[in-house]
């Protein structure tokens, strides 16, 4: 019995030895074939026979790992394309990359190469489709992420014949054409629906409902200011005044009075054409039955009865694009010689102070400010988020802020303080919700519409 057990053990050992020998011998033969085809491919590349090298690499795939050979095939095509940089070779390369992606679907390097070939031929939409798929599928590397950001910051510039404009960053842009006529545009820069046949001597700030004050020439002897509401087909007149405004705040149907500028003075008037006492050098819109006004360099609060209360130690109050003094929950005021971020009672929210400050365009974006000749950014809590480093700057709006370099050219940064749009403009605006801003290019008389080629979904 003992001899029998020994025999079985020895027999099993011999059998396993032959099996392992056969296995390793086969592996050795396969590896030898793999090395043979790799060597053939390398020789083909040395001889400039790049497509033949690709065939050799595919033969090597039968004996090796697809993931390790895919980059070698790319190297062969890189050498081929470098030697013969034509669109025909690029098309071959793209087709080959499709095949390789099928074999190695989770390899971001292959998709990045594909996207970069499209970029070289300005096929940005094709490149964007690739990198967006990678990001959404988590097939990413640093190159994919960087290219995705680059493409998301790819801009378009549409020329216009508008020599002036203003906007409250809502659904409308008010622009003045080369003939001096004011036109109501939508937030993308197209003529607003219902406004196609209308132009005006002046258009003030328009609210989201298309309601605002318009100055219109009725006939050569009559120019009136009208409260008009834009519908889908035309304008409807709600009220007519017998004076000609040069500016006004955004129209609020709930406010008892609206601030209007006639000549160089501001006053308040209501829908019954009743005017509050007083004319002012500056005047905000009413917020919760209170506004602020400036008269002879003194700032006051004013209520709907016309009563004025001096603002102690307040030397200036910044008004936003709607001409509101309360900007997304804060007030930006010059108190005791320095601009500060204040609460609605004009009390500073922190120890922050600045020599100058821009606007607060949303509660979660940063406000541009100046200190010692340079501009940085602060949040609504009075905390500095980007130290002063720019010659000039505008506050963040919809993810971007305009900044100016030492040469006087403007570009845009993102919230990470990275340059998103290069310095190239002499004047810039704020981005609206459609990611559109008006900019003025050097040597141009008219503003252009700056937008992004892609919108993130």
Rounded Cα distance between 14 and 22, Å, is 12
Rounded Cα distance between 160 and 339, Å, is 37
How would residue 10 be classed by pLDDT, with cut points 50, 70 and 90?
very low
Query: By the 8 A CB rule, do 299 and 315 touch?
Result: yes
296-304 contacts, C-beta under 8 A, 24 or more apart: 302/268, 302/276, 302/278, 304/256, 304/257, 304/276
pLDDT of residue 25: 47
Percent of the chain scoring above 70 in pLDDT? 91
Q: How far is C-alpha 406 from the geometric centre of its chain's CA atoms?
A: 23
Task: Could you list the beta-strand ranges (E) of 144-248.
Answer: 155-166, 172-177, 182-186, 202-203, 211-219, 222-230, 235-241, 247-248
Query: By the 8 A CB rule, do 160 and 447 touch?
Result: yes
Q: Residue range 430-453: average pLDDT?
A: 96
pLDDT of residue 119: 96
Rounded Cα distance between 52 and 15, Å, is 43
> CA–CA distance from 452 to each of 86, 150, 162 (Å)?
29, 11, 20
Place of tokens 């690709």: 54
Range in 62-66, 263-267, 282-286 the model is least confident about = 62-66
Contacts of 133 (CB under 8 A, 6+ apart): 111, 139
Beta-carbon neighbour count of residue 260 at 10 Å?
23
pLDDT of residue 21: 45
Could you state, in order of their start, the residue ranges of all structural domains in the chain? 29-153
For residue 14, pLDDT over 50 is answered with: no
3-class SS shares of the chain: helix, strand, coil, % to 5: 30, 35, 40
Rounded Cα distance between 43 and 55, Å, is 12
Q: Which of 217, 211, 205, 266 is nearest to 236 (CA)?
A: 211
pLDDT of residue 445: 94
Q: Which of 271, 306, 272, 274 is nearest to 283 (CA)?
A: 306
Name the burial class of residue 438, with classes exposed (0-12), middle (13-18) and buried (19+) by CB atoms within 10 angstroms of its CB.
buried
Q: What is the pTM of this model?
A: 0.85
Q: What confidence tens digit (pLDDT) does each residue in 110-160 have?
A: 999 999 999 999 999 999 999 999 999 999 999 999 999 999 999 999 999
pLDDT of residue 198: 87
How would residue 12 be classed by pLDDT, with cut points 50, 70 and 90?
low
Rounded Cα distance between 389 and 374, Å, is 5
Alpha-helical (H) ranges within 142-213 are 142-152
Contacts of 146 (CB under 8 A, 6+ apart): none
- Encoding tokens for residue 165? 């404009």
How would residue 216 be classed by pLDDT, with cut points 50, 70 and 90?
confident
Q: Residue range 215-224: average pLDDT?
A: 67
How would residue 8 be classed by pLDDT, with cut points 50, 70 and 90?
low
Place of tokens 């003529």: 191
pLDDT of residue 222: 58
Q: What confidence tens digit (pLDDT) does each residue in 20-46 have?
A: 444 444 556 767 888 899 999 999 999
Q: What confidence tens digit (pLDDT) does each residue in 341-400 have?
A: 999 999 999 999 999 999 999 988 999 999 999 999 999 999 999 999 999 999 999 999
Range in 9-13, 37-41, 438-442 the model is least confident about = 9-13
For residue 299, the surrounding DSSP H or E stretch is strand 298-303
Rounded Cα distance between 434 and 371, Å, is 32
- Encoding tokens for residue 341? 């971020």
First to last CA, the chain: 78
How would residue 305 be classed by pLDDT, with cut points 50, 70 and 90?
very high
For residue 16, pLDDT over 70 is answered with: no
CATH value of 29-153 in 1.25.40.10, 3.40.50.620, 1.10.10.10, 3.30.230.10 = 1.25.40.10
If you count them, how many residues does the chain have?
A: 457
Beta-carbon neighbour count of residue 28 at 10 Å?
10
For residue 168, pLDDT over 60 is answered with: yes
pLDDT of residue 224: 76
Q: Residue range 43-50: average pLDDT?
A: 94
How would residue 242 be classed by pLDDT, with cut points 50, 70 and 90?
confident
Beta-carbon neighbour count of residue 199 at 10 Å?
18
pLDDT of residue 24: 46
Query: By the 8 A CB rule, do 391 and 408 touch?
Result: yes
Rounded Cα distance between 430 and 322, Å, is 14
Percent of the chain scoring above 90 in pLDDT? 80
Average pLDDT over the chain, rounded to an integer: 91
Beta-carbon neighbour count of residue 78 at 10 Å?
14
Q: What is the DSSP letter of 189?
A: S
For residue 65, pLDDT over 60 is answered with: yes
Q: Residue range 58-65: average pLDDT?
A: 87
pLDDT of residue 67: 86
> CA–CA distance from 18 to each of 7, 27, 31, 32 (Å)?
16, 14, 20, 21
For residue 2, pLDDT over 60 is answered with: no
Name the burial class of residue 135, with classes exposed (0-12), middle (13-18) and buried (19+) by CB atoms within 10 angstroms of its CB.
middle
How would residue 218 be classed by pLDDT, with cut points 50, 70 and 90?
low
More confident position, 18 or 345: 345
Rounded Cα distance between 342 and 349, Å, is 5
Query: By the 8 A CB rule, do 289 and 256 touch?
Result: yes
Q: What confidence tens digit (pLDDT) does each residue in 72-85 have?
A: 999 999 999 999 99
- Encoding tokens for residue 296? 């002879």
The residues pairing with 449 across neighbouring beta strands, listed in sequence order, are 158, 438
């Amino acid at each position: 019995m003992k001899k029998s057990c020994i025999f079985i053990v020895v027999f099993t050992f011999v059998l396993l030895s032959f099996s392992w020998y056969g296995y390793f011998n086969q592996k050795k033969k396969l590896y030898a074939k793999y090395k043979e085809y790799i060597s053939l491919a390398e020789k083909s590349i040395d001889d400039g026979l790049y497509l033949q090298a690709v065939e050799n690499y595919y033969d090597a795939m039968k004996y090796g790992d697809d993931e390790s050979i895919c980059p070698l095939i790319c190297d062969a095509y890189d050498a081929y394309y470098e030697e013969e940089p034509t669109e025909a070779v690029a098309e071959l390369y793209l087709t080959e990359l499709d095949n390789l992606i099928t074999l190695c679907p989770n390899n971001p390097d292959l998709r990045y190469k594909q996207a970069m070939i499209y970029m070289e031929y300005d096929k940005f939409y094709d490149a964007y489709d690739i990198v967006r798929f990678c990001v959404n599928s988590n097939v990413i590397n640093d190159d994919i992420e960087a290219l995705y950001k680059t493409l998301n910051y790819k801009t378009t510039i549409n020329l216009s014949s508008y020599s002036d404009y203003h906007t409250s960053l809502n659904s409308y842009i008010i622009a003045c054409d080369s003939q001096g006529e004011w036109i109501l545009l939508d937030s993308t820069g197209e003529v607003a629906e219902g406004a196609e046949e209308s132009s005006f001597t002046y258009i003030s700030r328009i609210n989201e409902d298309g309601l605002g004050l318009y100055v219109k020439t009725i006939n050569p002897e009559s120019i009136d200011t009208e409260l008009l509401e834009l519908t889908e087909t035309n304008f409807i007149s709600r009220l007519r005044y017998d004076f000609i405004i040069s500016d006004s705040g955004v129209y609020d149907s709930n406010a008892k009075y609206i601030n209007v500028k006639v000549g160089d003075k501001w006053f308040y008037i209501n829908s019954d054409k009743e005017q509050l006492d007083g004319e002012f050098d500056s005047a905000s819109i009413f917020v919760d039955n209170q506004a602020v006004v400036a008269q002879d360099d003194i700032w006051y609060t004013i209520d709907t009865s016309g009563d004025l209360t001096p603002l102690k130690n307040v030397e200036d109050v910044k008004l936003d694009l709607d001409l509101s003094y309360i900007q997304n929950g804060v007030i930006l005021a010059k108190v005791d010689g320095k601009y500060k971020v204040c609460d609605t009672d004009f009390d500073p929210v922190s120890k922050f102070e600045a020599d100058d400050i821009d606007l607060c365009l949303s509660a979660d974006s940063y406000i541009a400010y100046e200190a010692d000749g340079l501009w940085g950014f602060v949040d609504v809590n009075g905390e500095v988020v980007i130290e002063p480093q720019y010659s000039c700057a505008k506050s963040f709006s919809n993810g971007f802020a305009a900044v100016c370099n030492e040469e006087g050219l403007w570009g845009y940064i993102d919230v990470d303080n990275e340059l998103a749009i290069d310095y190239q403009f002499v004047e810039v605006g704020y981005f609206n919700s459609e990611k559109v801003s008006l900019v003025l290019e050097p040597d141009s008389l008219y503003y252009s519409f700056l937008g992004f080629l892609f919108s993130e979904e």
